Amino acid sequence: MAAISSSTSSATACCSTRPLATRFTGQKKLEPAEALAAAEGFFREWIESAGQFEVNGRENAARGWEKIAAFNFHHATERYYHCVPLVLNLYSPKSHKLNFLRSQAEQLDGRLAEAWPIW
């Protein structure tokens, strides 16, 4: 526990010495190959994890565990929605609201409105 708190405090001290407005300005524009690699990495990671939540949701539903199935389906859907802006923009807004995430994804590609059912 001491190691965690000491590393946390040193990280906090490091970041707190810079003004808030400059802490996150170190971003650089990626070269096309770097952007492609990042997008492919996001796609693999988020599609795989969404699929895992979906499989778990189906298994839970088959066992009659409705609440945990709903939880897993929610997370699968959230991850599918996050995947679109991550792959296209290398960024996704930090939100768990499915309606918001869906609208963000559909703004990037209107064809998604036809692909995703309205519940």
For residue 91, pLDDT over 60 is answered with: yes
State the pLDDT confidence band at 79, using cuts at 50, 70 and 90. very high
Q: What is the pLDDT of residue 13?
A: 39
Closest CA to 92 of 76, 77, 105: 105
* Domain range list for the chain: 30-115
Q: Rounded distance, CA 8 to CA 26, Å?
A: 21
Q: What is the pLDDT of residue 119?
A: 59
pTM: 0.69
pLDDT per residue as tens digits for the range 4-51: 333 343 333 343 444 444 344 556 788 889 999 999 999 999 999 999
**What fold is seen in the domain 30-115?**
Four Helix Bundle (Hemerythrin (Met), subunit A) (1.20.120)
Give the number of other CB atoms < 10 A from CB of residue 92: 20
Residue 83: enclosing H or E segment and its boundaries? Answer: helix 66-89
Sequence letter at residue 117: P
